[in-house]
Every structure is written in structure tokens, then in C-alpha cells.
Amino acid sequence: MVVEVIINSNVKNLNKTFDYNVPAEFAGTICVGKRVMVPFGRNKSLEEGFVVGIKESSEFATKNIERIEEGFELTQDNINLAKLMARRYFCNISDCIKLMLPPGTTTKKIENRVKEKNMNFVFLKKDFEDIENDIENKKIKSEKQIRVLKFLKDNDGILKTDLEIFSDTSSNIIKTLEKNGYIEIIEKAVERNPFINKNVLKTEKLKLNQEQEIAFNMINEKIENNQFEEFLLYGVTGSGKTEVYLQLIEKVLIKGKRAIVLVPEISLTPQMVDRFIARFGQEKIAVLHSKLSVGERYDQWQNIKQKKASIIIGARSAIFAPIEDLGIIIIDEEHDSSYKSDMTPRYNAKDLSRYIAKQNNIPLVLGSATPDITTYYKAQNCDITLLELNKRANNANLPEVEIVDLRDELASGNKSMLSKKLYTEIEKNLEAKKQTILFLNRRGYSTFVICRDCGYTAKCKNCDITLTYHIRENKLKCHYCGFEQNNLSVCPECNSSNIRYFGTGTQKLEAEINKLFPQATTIRMDIDTVTKKNSHEEILNHFKNENLDILIGTQMVVKGHHFPNVTLVGVIAADSSLYMEDYRATERTFQILTQVAGRAGRENLPGKVIIQTYNPDNFSIECAKAQDYDTFYNGEINLRKELKYPPFCDIIVIGINGENKQEVIEISNKVYNNIKKINNSLPIIKPMPSPIEKVKNRYRWRMVIKTKLNQNIIDIINIAIEKIKLKNTRIVVDVNPTSMM
């Protein structure tokens, strides 16, 4: 007997299977999906792989499988999905399989696992870059130590006992690493899974209003009849979408099936999860989320695998949860860009959900107040069934939105970040003891630093990006790679001390607010203040529970939170997202502004929104002011059609990156020529540098194909890149990428 094995390693271009003989002793236990250890190439150590096929014999099988690893096996569905993804997303099958494996690298010692009782946590003590240097310079040689350090990079602050189990290591190795100064062990109080709250009051289902009822019946019919259909549940925030989800899930559970609910990572808060717990009880819910520790993730994963949990709530990768008997997939806030992965494999969870829903003959429900233009287009063309909720279920009114033209402010001599109007409204709101949210989509203090005498601007040494000034640490930081340096006191080019700071970020806004309203309590939320686990949540709870006056933040403040006492929202600069070099710039602006506006006046209190902008006549800003999605959609879809942007075609970006610029250019040309050779008529734009040509010391070139992605195009690209030999340079193909930079 011979098995076909996929090698589960990072070796490039390993999208083929390898044949191995099965020794007689394994003949009874081997089957498709088993995890096996096999000799591979010239390596002395064994490689891990998965059996994806079985056959009688093969002339290529020269080696034996060495052992079968018990504990976990892939299903045939997993294997099919991984194969499909590898081709569709131009990556290795093993990269896709990784998404389906249980958290942690081994399942061997799991039974002995101490459940979060031990109090020792392990942290990296050095920057990972320094560690990588030490590995390169052979200061660290032990494979076992390197494995632990790499594992810690993604799981910093893990319980020591969990580190031993999940990275398959021993206490001795950890001790050595501690002695050599790479890690430190700190005793801390154990946090319990923040998503599972023991004391949630049970809720009963509500009587649906007419619109909800229609939506519910249409979808429920598909649940009852085991049929695939894709639905768009389009309704403003508060129109009762979640209540519809809850009642659909109830039906699914009654049928003995289970549900997946995908939520944007940032909206996946304990309050959000509590609504599901309140209806169905805690035991039925599993939460999958990147902020959970590997141990917590493992527990959740097991609850799903062992069929204890029937409702899986998670960010995009929860679509790979080990779930059978699926009855429905729900994707909330379906327009959110986090459903598209920006790392290999660059999959889109919406597309995969559609595939999985079809396979399982179940409905797929997309919910949004501001649907993705492509989704709404499909709904208009009847590829997706449109269900509308037009009224707010609890009858709260939409907030009043006002636009302030910043050009007028400048003309009247107001150079501050706040217009007179916004200033007055904040003042009034403070007096009324109501809360305010101020939104600015840029962090740091000043966005760039320039010498007034010679024009020198401070740039990152690793990236083609200007550095942002951070006042608290008095440092200049790169927002792409994390590089930082001391602030300039004199210009390194001409020694002038005439340094000027341009642009504003949240730090500067906070400083200005504290100066203008010294009596107000403020709190800031952006990547710089959100670091520790939960801290995002802590900041919001702090703001809400202590009734602080003003929350200042980036995009993070926009998503799905509920603040009953917030009656004023100020958008400091609505223009920043308009200048992105991206066909979705206006769509993002509209979505962000509509969502920010939705934060004001969510209960009985009337809300007010002030949008400051230099482009008051901009179409997306006008539509956001009117909270008018339909008008926005109609304008935008015509533009997309004219310019040939999605949904009328796909933007396929083939990116080449590497440390050696010459090699990057050579490989770019090779890919280009290969594609031209296979099909000379494809609309492909010649290789050129990416808008940001260097990031983290890697040069980035790319070519763009603007065409509708189909099987033929997928094949052409796969063939064109398959044969190219790569050392340090990488080829990354991304279809409609989240960022065009």
C-alpha cells in the first residue's frame, strides 16, 4: 500500500504530494487525513505530513512512513478545501492546512494540561529582531530553543505550563533560555476567558416585527429544506438584525445542527458574545479569537470538536473550526475589510463561507447597515436575496449630522483642530454631563517632521515611509515596521534647528483637548494605548462605567459598541481616507462616517454628529450626512462601471518582494513574460515599483491584471509562477487586496 502525503512545512512550491510506502504494521490504522512523520529530502529529522490519498502502488514511492501521530486527523472536507484554497489563493496546501489544525504545535501531552491554574507566565525579553540576529549569527544553535522562541513570538505572555505543552518543550530548555536572557518568567494573577461571563441574565425571544418576520421566514425555509441560498440582511444599526440571527440559530439547534457566526475581530466583545450566551446559555457557545491565549483557544477548539459547543462566534479564521452538522453561516458587518486575510493564505472568508454553505446545503446570511458595494450589486442582480429592515427596532431616532467646512474656518483665522461649531458643542455637552466621542483616523502626534531650511524629512531606515512623531516617548516611529529613533533636535542634513511638525494625530488631539477643556476627563484609544490583552475592552469599559467626558480615538472607536450616554460625535478630519490610492477610498469613507455617526444617540437621548472636512461637497461625505446608502450606492456603482473596478472586474496584484532589488526586478520580469507567453491578450500592466517601494528592508515590485477572475486566469497565474526558482524573494498574488499600497 502507498499513501500520498502533503508535507506540512514551509518549503516553497510544495504543492505536490509525495508517495510513501506503508509498512505492514500501519496497514490497519492508516487512512486519509492521518498525521504522519516521514523522511524527506536530505534532512536528518523527520518531517510532518498529512495523508491525502491512498493507492495500491507507485513507482515513485521509495521511502516508508516512519510513524502515525495520533490525536488529530484532517477530514476529507478539510483536504478538499485546502487543495481548492491553494490554487485559488496561489499558496501552499500546507499553509491552508495550518488554519485547520488545533491550536498549538503538538497534541501529545495535552491530557496532562494544567487548566490555567499555574501562575507563571513566560515573556520574550528581547526584541524578536535581535533574537533573529542571534539565530543567524549562530549565538543560538539549538533547534529546540529556536522553536520555543519562535513560538513565543506569536504567544508572548503564555502560561509556562502551556508553553511546555503547546511548543512541545521541556522545563530545562525554558530554564536555559531564561538564564541566557532571552525570556523572563513572571508570576501573575490568572485571567479567565474574558468572553465567557458566568452571570448573564437569560433573555427570551422577542416578538419579531413585520420586516424581521419576513426575513426570518425566508431564511428559515432554507434551514428547514436543507438548501443553500445567500441572503443579504440590510438594515441600519439597531434595526434588529441580531434578533433575527438569534431566532434563526434557535431553529438550527432544534434541528440538531450548529451555527457559525463571523464577526469583525474588533467587534468581537464580551457584550456582543453575552447576547448569545443570554439566549442559549454559556455551554453552547465557543469563541475563537486571536486575542485568546493558545490554551484558551485550544479549549474552545476542543469544545467544538467534541460537539459540546453548537454556536461558534469568531473572527474570520473561525470558518475553519472543526465543525460538522453545520446548519447556518452568519457573517455580521459583512462589509468589514477584516474578512479578507492580508497574510498568506490571502483568502476571503466570505467566499469560503459561500463554498462551505453550498457544500452543506445551508443558508449563508450576510448582515450590514452599509453593505459592501459588490455584495449589494449582487443583491440588485438577484445573485443574493435581499432582505431589508428599514426601521430601528427600538424606535430610536437617527442622529442629526452637520458638516463644517474647514476652509471657512481657516479663512476666518481659526487654525486649531476644532471648528467653532465643534468647540461649542463639546462645551455644551460637557455642561449637560453627556459624553463625547472624537474620531481621527491617524495616530501619533505629528504625521511628519520636516526641516524648514533644507526640506529634509525624517524617513524610516527600513521603509519608504516618513516617520511619525510620538510626543510621550519623544520618538519618531515607523507605523509599518515599528522602527523608532530619537526625535530630531537639529536637522541631520544641514544642522538647522528650525524643525517643523506637520499633520495631526490622536496624541496631538488629546493634548489640544486637555488644553482647551482642562476640566474634562479624557481617554484615548488607538494602537498605542491598546497593547495588553483586553485593554481595548478596558478602555471602553472605563469610558462607559466611569462616565468619562471624552473618548478620543482612531477607527477602533467606530465599531459596534453601545454607549447610551454618548450624544455628540465629532469627526476631526473626514478627508484622510479619501486620499488613499485605492478604488475603495470613497466606500471606506462612507462606511466609516456612517458608522461613527451611528455611535451618537443610540437610546432615548437625541444625538448630534459634526463632520469637519475640506471637501464638504464630496459625494461620500454628503451621502454619509444624509445617512443615505442607496444614493451612495447608485453613484458609486456607476463610477465603478465606468472605471472598470470591482464588481465589474477583479484587481489581481502579483507582488514580488525581496532584499535584493535586482533580483526582485528580474523575477518580476520573468513572471510577466511567463504570463505573456501563455496568454498575450490579458490586460496586464508591466511590473513597476509598489507605491511604497520598500518595507522592512524588502523591495516591493508588482504587476496588476484588471480582469474578471475565473478558472482560466487562476490556471494561467499558477502556471506562470510555479516554475520560478526562488531563494529569498517571494511572489505574493492577492486578488482585490485590502490595501493597494
423: which 3 cell numbers? 468647540
Spell out the residues 6+ positions from residue 734 whose beta carbon is closer than 8 angstroms to its own.
342, 346, 652, 653, 655
Select from ligand ADP, Zn ion, none the partner in contact with residue 208, using the beta carbon and a kind-dependent cut-off of 5 to 8 Å: ligand ADP
Minimal distance, residue 466 CB to Zn ion, in Å? 10
Q: What sign does the CA torsion over 405, 410, 413, 419 have? A: positive
Of the pair 10, 394, the CB lying nearest ligand ADP is at 394
Strand partners, 658: 699
165 touches, from ligand ADP, Zn ion, none (C-beta below 5 to 8 Å by class)? none
Rg from Cα positions in the chain: 27
Rounded to whole angstroms, how far apart are CA atoms 705 and 713? 10
Nearer to ligand ADP by Cβ, of 235 and 363: the residue is 235
Q: Which does 200 bind (CB under 5 to 8 A by kind): Zn ion, ligand ADP, none?
A: none
Residue-wise DSSP of 177-228: HHHTTSEEEEE-PPPP-TT--S-PPP-PPPPP-HHHHHHHHHHHHHHHHT--
DSSP notation for 583-614: TTHHHHHHHHHHHHHTTS--SSS--EEEEEES
* Cβ neighbours around 66 below 10 Å, total: 14
Say which entry of ligand ADP, Zn ion, none residue 235 contacts (CB below 5 to 8 A, set by partner kind): ligand ADP
CB under 5 to 8 A by kind: which of ligand ADP, Zn ion, none does 394 bind? ligand ADP
Q: What are the strands, taking DSSP E only, across 222-339? A: 229-235, 258-262, 285-288, 311-314, 326-332
| Position 241 contacts ligand ADP (CB under 6 A) | yes
Residue length, the chain? 741
Which triple of cell numbers denotes residue 412? 476666518
Among 238, 314, 322, 646, binds ligand ADP (CB under 6 A): 238
d(CA 233, CA 211): 11
Q: Are 153 and 105 in contact (CB under 8 A)?
A: no
Helix count and strand count (H, E) for the chain:
21, 30
DSSP state string for 33-90: TEEEEE--TT-SS-EEEEEEEEES--TT--SB--EEEEEEE--HHHHHHHHHHHHHTT
Cell of 229: 441560498
- Taking CB under 6 A as the criterion, the residue among 4, 162, 211, 243 binding ligand ADP is 243
CB of 41 to ligand ADP, least distance (A): 53
Is residue 4 within 8 A of residue 53, CB to CB? The reply is yes
Binding test (CB under 6 A) with ligand ADP, winner from 17, 155, 167, 239: 239
Return the SS3 of 474. coil
**Beta pairing partners, 326:** 258
Looking at the Cβ atoms of 102 and 240, the one nearer to ligand ADP is 240
- Residue 235 binds ligand ADP, judged by CB under 6 A: yes
- Judged on CB neighbours under 10 Å (0-12, 13-18, 19+), 87 is middle
Q: How far apart are the C-alpha atoms of 584 and 639, rounded to whole Å?
A: 11
> Which cell numbers in the block locate residue 97?
492546512
- Which of 106, 209, 361, 535 is the binder for ligand ADP (CB under 6 A)? 209
Cell of 155: 504567544
Stretch near ligand ADP under the rule CB under 6 A, chosen from 153-161, 238-246, 482-490, 663-671: 238-246
Which of the choices ligand ADP, Zn ion, none does residue 341 contact, using the CB cut-off of 5 to 8 A by kind? none
Is 454 a residue that touches ligand ADP (CB under 6 A)?
no
Residue 239 CB, nearest approach to ligand ADP (Å) = 4
Residue 212 sits in the site that holds ligand ADP (CB under 6 A): yes
Q: Kindly determine how many residues on this chain lie close enough to bind ligand ADP according to the rule CB under 6 A.
A: 15
Residue 628: CB minimum distance to ligand ADP, A: 18
Nearest Cα to Cα of residue 276 among 268, 409, 408: 268
Per-residue binding string, ligand ADP, 512-551, x by CB under 6 A, is ----------------------------------------
Cell of 717: 497565474
Residue from the set 84, 173, 208, 218 that interacts with ligand ADP by CB under 6 A: 208
Query: Which positions from 188 through 207 interact with ligand ADP, judged by CB under 6 A?
Result: 206-207
Residue 595 near residue 441 (C-beta atoms within 8 A): no
Stretch 460-489 residues interacting with ligand ADP (CB under 6 A): none
Question: Among Zn ion, ligand ADP, none, what does residue 104 contact (CB within 5–8 Å per kind)?
Answer: none
462 binds, among ligand ADP, Zn ion, none (CB under 5 to 8 A by kind): Zn ion
Residue 493 binding: pick among ligand ADP, Zn ion, none (C-beta 5-8 Å cut-off by kind) = Zn ion
Please, which residue, 353 or 368, has the CB nearer to ligand ADP?
Answer: 368
Q: Which does 478 bind (CB under 5 to 8 A by kind): ligand ADP, Zn ion, none?
A: Zn ion
Q: Which does 456 bind (CB under 5 to 8 A by kind): ligand ADP, Zn ion, none?
A: Zn ion
CB closer to ligand ADP out of 292 and 393: 393
Q: Which does 242 bind (CB under 5 to 8 A by kind): ligand ADP, Zn ion, none?
A: ligand ADP
- Smallest distance from Zn ion to CB 460, Å: 3
- Between 80 and 267, CB nearer to ligand ADP: 267
Report the residue number, 305 or 392, with the smaller CB distance to ligand ADP. Answer: 392
Q: List binders of ligand ADP among 359-418 (CB under 6 A).
A: 393-394
Contacts of 173 (CB under 8 A, 6+ apart): 142, 144, 145, 148
Q: Which residues form the interface with Zn ion (CB under 5 A)?
A: 451, 453-454, 456, 460, 462-463, 478, 480-481, 483, 491, 493-494, 496
- Provide the minimum distance between the beta carbon of 433 and Zn ion in the complex, in angstroms, as a whole number: 44
Shorter beta-carbon distance to ligand ADP: residue 239 or 577: 239
Is 258 a residue that touches ligand ADP (CB under 6 A)?
no
Peptide bond into 345 cis (omega under 30): yes
Taking alpha carbons only, the member of 723, 727, 707 closest to residue 653 is 707
- Residue among 263 and 509 whose Cβ is closer to ligand ADP: 263
Beta carbon of residue 492, minimum distance to Zn ion (angstroms, whole number): 8
Q: Which of 22, 481 has the CB closer to Zn ion?
A: 481
Do the bridges between strand 363-368 and strand 47-55 make them parallel or antiparallel, or are there none, so unpaired?
unpaired
The footprint of ligand ADP (CB under 6 A) covers 206-209, 212, 235, 237-243, 393-394
